Amino acid sequence: MYFEYFGLNEAPFRITPHTDFFFAGANRGATLDALIYAILNDQGIVRVIGEVGSGKTMLCRMLAESLPEHVDTIYLANPLLSRDEILHALADELQVRLEAERPGALLGALQNHLIERHGAGRHVVALIDEAHAMPPDTLEQIRLLSNLETSRDKLLQIVLFGQPELDTMLSRPDMRQLRDRITHSFRLEPLVRDDVAEYLDFRMRAAGYRGPTVFAPAAIRRLARASHGLTRRINVLADKSLLAAFASNSHQVAARHVKAAVRDTDTPSAGRAGIGRWRWALGLAALLAAIAGAGQWWWLAHPGAVVSRTDAVLATADAPPATPPPATATPEPAANAEKPTQLAAAPSVPLAPARELAAATNPAPTVPAVEAAANAAAAEAEPLDPLLAPLGNAFADRLAASERWRRQTPAQHWFIQLATAEIGDPSGVGRYLSRAARQVDDASLRVFVDRRSSGLRIGIIYGDYPTAAAARTAMRSMPPSLLAQGAYARQLGSLD
């Protein structure tokens, strides 16, 4: 890498939010101060709007770190929660003991818990990221949550972070009641050229650089134009520009280095076929050859493709394998403690024509008991929804096994809900499941399909636990990457 070459202690332009690198210029610091004031002194919902890559998540995390000690912060990163699931997520974050699974009872339990915290002088705020992707029913539930109050104060302060699509959603007539409860709105504008210059210099010095300005004025102009002032894209281009400068043995980033970074980052359009493509390939090959000749660093690739919403929700599961918790946990010893139910394997159910053909070609022995069991299972199974067909046979098998587990497991048992995804990118769901299966017990990794909302939604869940406490204990030993999308303990009966 180029760290030693430029005198850096760490990567200056990483794309994951790191609050030590929060840039207070371009009105970001003033927005943070205004958000803190609004949370501590106002009673309504707060909205923060910004384009993709404008720094919303960085601002959200900085806000969580900057609030006073008496403020309890809840961060919800999964926008695809249903109206019931968001209640469960809040209850899990607040460690609310649930006596019933009915939404009304759960909302009442949340209110009672928030009243207790309010009486103890605590202030609770929920920071909801990617709110533009939330289903309308979930946004309506947020409105109902904003109604929880005492005679003088709101019990839960809510801050919505989202892309401009959130404004479009809130402009709908059926969103008027939620829109009227928004008392403060902030917008993160793209950085202008002077802001980009300050941003680049700030990030370099925050990473340990102590020399003269690295980015030449012409390089800054080209970088500002190519990035459109969006901080995420600035980070990607600046990182590759530093690599190009290092490869050419230059201590200053020139316009040609930014040009090479832009070429490497942008996807060629249809009109850039033929000679344009091989020139790009030769340019990149020359850069890599120079880097290899230096022999002092390695190349870190940055994907340039736009990630779909489903991939964005699920991609955090790609992490080094960790020791998984047991699929079935036992609560603290007690006189009347029950052992988890041991499930017998159920017959496999044919789910695709290809399998039916294979079964016809190689018929199984005609044992009456086996035939009866297979016929009963086939009658009990639902046909696979056509929208799920692109997910393939592996998903169909997992769904069938999950359905059998649901039928055979007491409704009072608990599981861990890892993620929720809409049917839009089947490959993203498949990748998440394959990655998760490498980190936890594959047999305890299950799925369910929610057909009650507008369009199908897939829930990815894990484990089988006799109590909520056992499920939460298991969560503490799971890989953090699997919990990053707002994982929470949930009772099996809530799926019915």
Three-state DSSP class for residue 199: helix
Helices then strands, each counted (H, E), the chain = 20, 9
The whole model's pTM is what? 0.59
What number does CATH give the domain 309-495? 3.30.70.1070
Ranges of CATH 3.40.50.300 domains, the chain = 27-188
pLDDT at 210: 92
pLDDT at 247: 94
Check the CA dihedral 483-486-489-491 and report its sign: negative
Structure tokens that stand for 26 in this block? 């371009």
Neighbours of 290 (CB within 10 A): 14
pLDDT at 103: 59
In the numeric block, the tokens 């190519």 are attached to 226
pLDDT at 311: 42
Structure tokens that stand for 58 in this block? 């960085």
pLDDT at 471: 87
Determine the Cα–Cα distance for residues 321 and 323; give it in Å rounded to an integer: 7
pLDDT at 394: 84
Determine the Cα–Cα distance for residues 258 and 470; give it in Å rounded to an integer: 53
pLDDT at 417: 86
pLDDT digits (tens, 9 = 90+) for 201-251: 999 999 999 999 999 999 999 999 999 999 999 999 999 999 999 999 999
Sheet containing strand 414-422, edge to edge, reads 445-450, 457-465, 414-422, 488-491
Regarding the domain delimited by 27-188, which CATH topology (the fold level of the hierarchy) does it fall under? Rossmann fold (3.40.50)
In the numeric block, the tokens 């199908």 are attached to 456
Ranges of CATH 1.10.8 domains, the chain = 3-17+191-294
- The low-confidence residues of the chain, meaning pLDDT below 70, are 99-104, 266-387, 422-427, 451-456, 484-486, 496
Determine the Cα–Cα distance for residues 489 and 91; give it in Å rounded to an integer: 9
Regarding the domain delimited by 3-17+191-294, which CATH topology (the fold level of the hierarchy) does it fall under? Helicase, Ruva Protein; domain 3 (1.10.8)
Residue 474, classified by CB atoms within 10 Å of its CB into exposed (0-12), middle (13-18) or buried (19+), is buried
Ranges of CATH 3.30.70.1070 domains, the chain = 309-495
